[in-house]
Chains A and B, each alone.
Chain A
Amino acid sequence: MTALTFTLKAPPPERLDLSSLVPARLQRLSRAEIERLPVGTSRRALKLADLFAVSGADPVELRFEGGSERFDQVGAHLADGRILVDGDVGQRCGLDMAGGDIEVRGDAGPFIGAGATGGTLVVHGNAAEKAGGAVHGGRYGLAGATLVIRGDAGPRAGDRMRRGLMLVGGATGDHAGSRMIAGTLIARSVGAEPGLGMRRGTIAVGTHGTLVPTFMPSGAGDLIFMRLLRRAVGKHHLDLAKMLPDDPFRFVGDQAALGKGEILVCG
């Protein structure tokens, strides 16, 4: 069976809520019922067929031909299956997902991977603020899933991250890993004040902006952990894996909070 495909007919006139387009829900619906799913977010009450041409048959593999920064909540609550977006997505992609794979071949809006406990998200372009970070009122950012951003990420990447692996092939904005609770965030470079308020967890970077004074240098040492980390990262991003040495320079903090986190400088 070919992937169930949604081909965008024209740029959406408003933000769309695409959270209903996940295999667990679509498997129970006929083609006509799928075409009538509400996706609009205004009083226009737009249905799926108003914006997309539907083709293909396999509801476990979904494909969006064309994307938009107005595509909100793509793959939210995804439990299994695969979603491919040939374009951009808006905010909250992969929100609270528990499994499966999401691939975005463009840019992603804010809060990608917020609360995601399992599965893998890959963004080929850039991601906006709070990638892998918590939404307003959400307890956690990334919470066990793997998030790979091949381009840059905005400020506060990994905010309140709880568990899992987040990789940024380019640069992040300021305050990467802010209020991190646990997990691993690796980026080629990060902006000012990384790890502000972090309790536990690991941030590994090539270069970094100003550190807050509540991070303390603890020297360089040969860490066996780095070999394991390199292997894990290499499955998703070879260039970042190559950036990780055996003996990074380590800062511990944030001692304003619990102080059990670390920033590993790999440059």
Chain B
Amino acid sequence: MEALRAAFRLAQASGAALDGSDLDGAYSELSVLAASGAMATTPAEARARADLLLLVGRATDHAVTDFTCAGTPPRQAAGTERRVIALGGIRAGAEAMPAPAGLVPTLGLLRAALASRPSARPEHADVARALKGARFGVVLYDPAELGEMGVDMVLGLMRDLNATTRFSSCALVEPAARLVVAVSAWTLGQAPRSGLGRGVPEHDPWRFNAERQVCSGEADTLVWVHPSVPPPAWTRSLPALALLADPRGDEADIVVAVAAPGRDSAGTLWDAERATMTFRPATAPRTDRPAAAVILDALTERVTMERGHPC
């Protein structure tokens, strides 16, 4: 979190654009949320209360799903048995619901079955009944797998079900992406993929998509701040600085080895199970590497001095 805050300070000082390193999944969710809203919950709530879990696609095989499905739900509605259904995937202990037409069309068929529309398939009747009969159901899905149209279908299913029962969704988004969205929201009042070129934050997910900006030649320099993930190949076409915890040294024009938060130094990270920020002490403390925030703040100071006005 401190590295992100420092990156935002540097962007404000230099008039840069800000993007997350892996926001495609988060944006599939955010774009539908911005257009039509969402019923959403956390893995911890789903683990504690859900009497029905619908796992979509590769959510069947995800660490957060393991956490959600584990144990007996302590606050599940009285008199209910937990049922787990795996749509388009296989998971031990879950009922398999095949999706030969594809995940998104099958979700559509499920919505048609719930509304008793003519295109409903008889093989989906049992699952549709189970969804309607749940006291608190949760759908777990990976928005990067489903894309914006798939997320729209999942959240449409939530709207349909909430007419008569309590149902929620839980998107399995990369923790680093969740963290950057939170920091951006409290710093700029907007999601990342924002620009500060005109002195005020402008949010435009198409215009400030970093990969698009680099590949189109609109960007002239790149600063990569993700200690545990090296910059992708598309960053090699322009001068770049990468702050990495375990660098090889050839990931960018300038590579600085920094402390890995939660390993080399204490740090505030995203807790995917509770869906919140959490403090992590260093598991293997070392003091020979600077925090990424220190490097970024030194750059901000230099940029501010050269532009001739204070921070």
Residues of A within 8 A of B (CB): 14-15, 40-43, 45, 70, 72, 91, 110-111, 134-139, 160, 175, 178-179, 193, 196-197, 212-216, 253-257, 259
In the complex, how many residue pairs between chain A and chain B have their CB atoms under 8 Å apart? 95
CA A27 to CA B98, docked complex, whole Å: 62
Interface centre among A42, A178, A193, A256 (most CB of B within 10 A): A256
- Top 9 A-B pairs, shortest CB-CB distance: A256-B108, A43-B15, A42-B197, A137-B34, A255-B117, A256-B111, A214-B108, A255-B112, A255-B119
Q: Would B35 and A197 count as touching, CB distance under 8 A?
A: no
Report B29-44 residues with CB < 8 Å from chain A CB: 30-31, 34-35
Given A136-B206, A255-B120, output 10 extra A-B contacts at Cβ < 8 Å.
A41-B202, A43-B199, A111-B206, A134-B35, A136-B30, A196-B149, A213-B109, A255-B108, A256-B109, A257-B156
Q: Would A175 and B149 count as touching, CB distance under 8 A?
A: yes
Main secondary structure of the interface of B (DSSP, over half): mixed
**When A43-B15, A196-B149, A216-B119 are in contact, do A254 and B197 touch as well, CB less than 8 Å?**
no
Report B50-70 residues with CB < 8 Å from chain A CB: none
Q: Does B152 contact A (CB under 8 A)?
A: yes
Q: Would A178 and B149 count as touching, CB distance under 8 A?
A: yes
| A residues less than 8 Å from B152 (CB atoms) | 179, 197
| B residues less than 8 Å from A137 (CB atoms) | 31, 34-35
B-side interface size class: 35 or more
| B residues less than 8 Å from A193 (CB atoms) | 105, 149
| A residues less than 8 Å from B119 (CB atoms) | 213-216, 253, 255
Report B210-247 residues with CB < 8 Å from chain A CB: 218
| B residues less than 8 Å from A216 (CB atoms) | 118-119
Interface centre among A138, A213, A214 (most CB of B within 10 A): A214
**When A197-B149, A212-B105, A215-B119 are in contact, do A136 and B218 touch as well, CB less than 8 Å?**
no
Please give the distance in Å from B184's CB to the nearest CB on chain A. Answer: 14
CA A45 to CA B218, docked complex, whole Å: 15
CA A175 to CA B150, docked complex, whole Å: 12
